[in-house]
A and B are shown apart, each in its own frame.
Chain A
Amino acid sequence: MSPPATDLLSSSHLLMVGAGGIGCELLKTLVIAKATRIHIIDLDTIDVSNLNRQFLFRNKHVGMSKAIVAREAALAFLPPARRDQCSITAHHANIKQPEFGVEFFKQFDVVLNGLDNVDARRHVNRLCLAARVPLVESGTTGLVGQVTCHVRGVSACYECKPKPTAKAYPVCTLRNTPDKPIHTIVWAKDMLFKQLFGGDGVVTDLAEAENNNNNTNNEDSNPQEEQTNADDVAAKFFKPEEGEQPYDFLVRVFRRVFVDDIVKVNGMDDLWEKQGRRRPVTLPVDRYKSNDAVKKTASANDAKEGESSPDNEVLGLSASAAAALGYDDDHAVSFGCKSSNADAKEKCATAPPPDHDAHVFLASGVRLLRRKLALASSRGSDDGVAFDKDDALATEFVTAASNLRSRCYGIPRQSVFNAKGMAGNIVHAVATTNAIVAGLIVAEARKVLRYVAAAEGSDERAAVASKLRDTYVVPFPQCPGSKYCIQPTSPEEAHAGCYVCGGGAGGITLSLDTNVWTLGELASFLKKKLSMHLPLLETDEAGQLYEEGDDLDEDEVERYETLAKKRLAELPGDGIVDGTTVNLQDLSQDFNVKVVVRHVADLDEEEYPELCIWDVEGGIQPVANAPAQEEAEKNDGNGASAAGDDDDDLVMIDEDIEVLTENVQAPPAKKARRV
C-alpha cells in the first residue's frame, strides 16, 4: 500500500486516443489529478447523441472537433495558475495519419485508449509495441466495461487474443433470399444506399446482380471484359440520366428494385420450390408515385431563402423528410403517425403504413440525391454521401428501403430506432459506466507509470508489475458466482504465437481459390482483416507485388494497378498458388506478418461468405460470453475511422439485434443453408 503516484502523473507525458464517452471522463479526471502534459487525438465531430454523456460538449458545439472542444473545456475548468502549467495538445485527426508514427509515440510514457472500434485499437497497439510504450486500453457497452493493461514483457498485447469480428452475410442471401430484418437493412445500406449516393465510380453488389444474370450465356467471350462492361451498364442504371428529374429517377429505382428485380428473382425456381421458401411479391409502385405531399417534401429545401450557395443547399438537405411528411417514428412502428398536426393525422388515417415507407423512400431519396449533387458541385468532385447513423435523412432512407424490401419478402418491419441501431452497429452507452471506467484507467495508469519509472530489472519494477490488473465492471449482481461488481484480475499473459507481438511466430493460413481471386481483392481483404493502414505485399519469388502509400511514383502506381487486376495464379514468379508464402508489411505500423496461401476451389458461399478460410495457427478462439469483451468491427461506411466516436465500445451486431428487437416482435429468424 504505497502512496498514490500523483507526482508521476504530473510529470509524465500522456497520449489519449479518443475524446468520446470515455475520453471526456478521462480528460477531466487526468486534469484534476494534475496531469500536465497531454496529447489528445480524435477525428470525430460532436453530434447531439453524444451529449447524454460526453459532458465537455454542449449543444452549441455540435459539428465541431471533439479533440479541440474537449481541450478548451478542460482548460477552462482549471484555475489560471494551473492552466499555465497544463499543456494539452489537441489533434483533430485520424490516429492512422503518418505524423502519428513510431517517433510520435516514443515521446509518451503511457498511451490511454478511449476508442470505439477494433481497427483503430489494433493500429494503436502496434505503434505502442513498436515504440515500447505501455498501453491502457478500455471499453464500455451499456452497464458493463473493462480496463486492460498491455505492457510489453509483462502482459499480453491487445491482439494476443483474437476479437470477434462483425458477421458477414452471404451476398446471395442479401441479394436474393433475405429472411431476417438485418438482411434487408444491410442490403439497403451497403448495396442500395451506397450505389445511389456513393461517390463517382462506386459499384456495389446491387449492380453486379445484373451482370450475373445476364452473363450466363456468354461463356465464350472474355469473362473479365464482359464483367467490366456489365458492371458499367448496371452502375449506369443507378445514375440519373441527362436531364432526368431526381424524383423521376427515384421512381425508376423504386420500380427496378421493388418490381423488376423481384420478378427476376421470383423466376429463379430453384431458389424457391425445393427450399420451402415463400416467393417474394412486388410492390404497387404506381400507387405511391404521384403523391403531391411527397413531391413537395422531396423538392423542399429548409435552407434560408435568398441564400442559394451550394453549402447552404447541403445544410438545408439534412432535415428529416419523414418528419416533414408527418410520419414520426415511435420506436415501435416505423413511420407511425403521432404528429399533433391535424393534416398529418388525416393523412395517417387514409394511408396505411406501407405507403409511408414508400413516401419516405421517395422523399428522402430525392433529398439525398440533391445533397450529393450539391456536394459534388461545391467540392468539384463527386465523393458522394457516406452513410452516417446520426444523419436523419440517411437512416430514414435505409429504414424505408429495408422495410419495403422486407414487405416483398414477408419479413417484419423495423422502426427507424431499431433499423438505425442495426445499420450503425450502435452500442448502448451511458455516462455512469464511462465515469467508473475512466477512474479505473487513471488508477491503472498510475501503476504503469511507476513501472516505467522504475529501473529495468529492479525489484521495484517487478513489484509494480505484479500489481498491474485488468479490471472488469459488471452490473451488480450479474457477476457470475460472486457479489463483486468491479473485478480486478491479473492481466492476460502474452500469447507466444501472437502474430503481432510474438515476433511473427504464429502462422496464418489463408485458403482460397487462386484462379478466381485477384491480387487486388487479396490485398484489400488482408488489409481489412489485419487492420493494416498502408500494406505492402511481396512474395520471395516475385518480390513486391502491391503497395499503398502517397510516395509511390507513377510507374509504380501503374505497375501495381495492372498487377491488382490479375488472378493470383497468373501473377509473375509462378503466381500466388497453393503453398506460396505472402509477406505483408506495414511500415506505418512497424508490422510484419507472413500468410501461407492454400488453394481450394468451390467454397460454399453460404458457409464461407468471404469465400475463403482464415486460420490463425494456435489462435485462441474468441470467448463468446466474456464480460464486456464483445467487440466488433465498426462498419459504418466511413472506412477507417479512428478515434473515439460516441460508441465507446462495440458489441457483436447479432447480440445487439436480440436486444433491440426484443420489444418489437421476434424476428422470423432462421439461417437456412442455401445456394
Chain B
Amino acid sequence: MADAGGSHKRKYDRQIRIWGDHGQARLQSANVCMLGCGPVGSETLKNLVLGGIASFTVVDAELVTARDTGNNFLIEASMLGTSRAKGVSALAQELNESVVGRFVEEEPAHVVQNNPGFFRDFDLVIATQLADAVAAVLDDVCRTHGVPLILSTCVGFAGTVRLSLAEHTVLEAKPDNSVADLRIARPWPELMAHAAAYDLSAMDDVERRHVPWVVLLLKHLHDWRLAQQPPAPETHVPTTGPEKRAFRDTLRAWGSSYVEVGHDLPDNFREALSNAYLAWTQPEVPSAAANVLSQASAVAMRAAASPVAGGADDLDVAPCVGFVPSGATTYAHALADVATTSAPPASAAATAEENFWQLACAVSRFVDQASGGGFLPLDGSLPDMTATTEMFLSLQNIYHAKAEADATAVASIALEVPRPRDRNHTAPPSAAACRHFCKHCRHINVLRWCRVSDELRNGISTVRAALANDGPSRDAANLYVLLRARDTALADTQTARVMREGTATAQEDELRRACGTVLRRACAGAHSEPLTEELISAEWISEIARWGDTEPHTVATVIGGIVSQEAIKLVTRQFVPLDGVLVYNAVRGDAAVLDVAKTA
C-alpha cells in the first residue's frame, strides 16, 4: 500500500490534468448513493467508479430480467432472476479495486419515504427513474442533511438531468476563454511608471521590436490622453467609434515610424494593435462575481451567527441514527484499501473553498475600499508576448507584486470578517488560501436551485413561452411537459394500467389527457391565458407513448455521461454545474437546458 499514492497518480493522471490533485482528492473521498441501477444508473456508476470515488451504495429492489441483460452493461446473463442491485454492484466494483461497493435491496421510493436518515452520510445522492412525488420528498430530505442531489429520467429517446441543492459555490470555474486582467485602461502607479520608463526613441531597432505590447498600449493611451483638448484625466479612454479608430491609426503610425516604408509592422506593434480594445476595456467585476460579492456580506454575517453555514433549510426530518438497511453488504477488502488513501491533503485550494463566503466578503470590502479602487484583486497573470527575457520578467514582476499586494490586503480584511461559528476554533484562512481565492475571484459563482416541489408547481408555466414559440427550446419544452404528464398518468393506478397495457391509441389519449391536466394545473390561479393540450405536438405524444418505459442503452450512455460529469463538478467544486433542467432529445441528437430549476 505504500505506493498507493504513486499508482493512483498514474492511474488518474489524465483526469488530474483536468481538475488537479485537490479535485482528485475530493473525488476520492466522495461517498455516492445511487438510487435505481437501470441503464442510466449503471452508466453513471461506471463513470464515477472509473474516476475513483471513495464508495458507492446502490439502492434497487428489482430482480434481473431478460431486458436488463440486453441493455445494462453491468448485468450478466448469469444474473437472471437475482438481485439487480447486487449484480450491478459486483460488476461496478470490478471496474476499480480502490472503490468500495455496497448495495441495498430495497425499493428506492420505500427508503426515501421510510428511512430518510439513510441519506444523511452521503456526499452525493443520484436518483434515476424516480416518480416526481418521490423525487420531491427525497429533495427535501437531502436538503435537510445538506447532501446534493442529482435527478435523472430516461424515457425512450428522451431524458432529463437536474441538480438540486440549496447552494453551490464555485471558486475554480475554469472558463474556456478568459481575457487576461491587465488593467491597461486603469493602470496603477507602479505600472504607469514602468511603462513611462521605456523610451523607444533611445533604443536600437532590436530592443524596440521587443518592447512588450502591454507597455506600448499603456504609453500610447497615456499619449492619447495628453493629446485630447483639453487633456483628458487619467481615467479617460477612447469610447466612440471614431475615437477608437483614431487610437488604432495613431498606434499603427507610431509603429510604422520605426520601419522603412513598405515593410511590415514589427510583431510587438501588431500584437498591440490586435489587443487595442484592452485600452478601453474597463476592469469591471463580471456579473456572476458581482452577484456573489453583493450578497457575500449578508451570507458571511449569517454564517457567523448560525451554526449551519449558509443553511437555508429547516425541514424537520427525524434522524434515523444507526439505520442499517436490510441486506446491506460491504466489500470489506476494498474498504481497507480506501481508508489508507482517501485522506485529502489540506491544501490552500481546499481552505479557500471552505472559507468561500468569508473571503468573498473580504474581496467585496476590498473592491469598495480605496485599496481596490472599485476593482477586483489582480490575478497577476501575464500572457505570452514578443519581448526580451529581461523586459518580460520585469513586467511580470510588476503584475506579480500587485497581485501579491492585493492578496495581502484581502487577507488582512478577511481577519475582520466574522468567522462562521462552527469554524471559530480553527485558524483563519492562510495567506496561500487568500492568494488562491484572489487568483480565481474573477470567475466565482454561486448557484441555487429551487426545490423540486416548487419546480413541480411552477416549471410548466415557466416554459409556456418556449411551448408557444417556434424556437430552439420548443421540442425540449414539449418533452418536459410530456414527461410530467406521463408521471401524472402513471401515478394513478387506473390510468397507469392503460399506459402499460392499452392499445397505442388508448395510450396516446391517456397521455394527451394527462398533458391537459398538468397544463391546467400549471395555470390555476394565474391571470394569463389557460394552457391546453393543443400546445403539445401530437407527434411527440405518440413517440412518448410508444417508447413506454424503455431505456435504450445508446441514450443511457449519453445521459449517464452527463449525469456523471455534473456529479464530478459538484464533488470537485470545479466548473459551473448545470443550473436548469437539461432535456436530451436523442431523436434530434441535441440537448437543451430549460430555466426551470432556479430559485425565484
Contact = CB atoms under 8 A, between A and B. Distances in A.
Given A435-B560, A476-B576, A1 B539 contact: yes
Q: DSSP majority for the A interface? A: loop
Chain B contact-residue range equals 35 or more
B593 interface: yes
A484 B553 contact: no
B552 interface: yes
Contacts of A609: none
Nearest to B567: A432
B543 A1 contact: yes
B287 interface: no
Contacts, number: 221
A487 B384 CA distance: 32
B389 A435 contact: no
Contacts of A410: 389
A19 to B, nearest CB: 16
A481 B554 CA distance: 28
A443 B586 contact: yes
Interface string B529-564: 000000000010001000000001111111011101
A275 to B, nearest CB: 6
Interface stretch (A366-374, A420-428, A448-456, A586-594): A420-428
A663 B174 CA distance: 12
Contact of A436 (B381, B391, B562, B579): B562
Contact of A323 (B6, B209, B564): B6
Interface in A393-430: 410, 417, 421, 426-430
Interface in A480-514: 482-488
B578 A476 contact: yes
Nearest to B577: A476
Given A323-B6, A488-B588, A29 B388 contact: no
A486 B553 contact: no
Contacts of A53: 14-15, 50
A671 B386 contact: yes
Given A32-B71, A276-B207, A646-B14, A55 B589 contact: no
B384 A486 contact: no
Interface string A76-114: 011110000000000000000000000000000000000
B73 A475 contact: no
Contact of A484 (B12, B396, B592): B592
B389 A277 contact: yes
A477 to B, nearest CB: 6
A668 B389 contact: yes
B210 interface: yes
B431 to A, nearest CB: 16
A25 B7 CA distance: 24
Nearest to B97: A59
Contact of B396 (A80, A666, A673): A666
Contacts of A434: 561
A442 interface: yes
Interface stretch (A44-52, A256-264, A530-538): A44-52
A378 to B, nearest CB: 26
B564 A432 contact: yes
B509 interface: no
B269 interface: no
Contact of A52 (B51, B204, B553, B579): B51
B308 interface: no
Contacts of B578: 476-477, 485
Interface in A326-360: 328, 331
20 contacts: A79-B77, A143-B565, A276-B391, A430-B51, A431-B564, A435-B561, A436-B558, A440-B558, A443-B586, A475-B565, A477-B593, A483-B592, A625-B177, A669-B385, A669-B392, A670-B212, A670-B387, A671-B386, A673-B209, A673-B210
Interface of B: 6-7, 9-18, 20-21, 43, 46-47, 50-52, 69-71, 73, 76-77, 94-97, 157, 175-177, 204, 206-207, 209-210, 212, 267, 380-393, 396, 472, 539, 543, 552-558, 560-562, 564-565, 568, 575-580, 582, 584, 586-593, 595
Closest 10 CB pairs of A and B: A79-B77, A439-B557, A436-B561, A435-B561, A669-B384, A439-B558, A486-B591, A483-B593, A670-B387, A429-B14
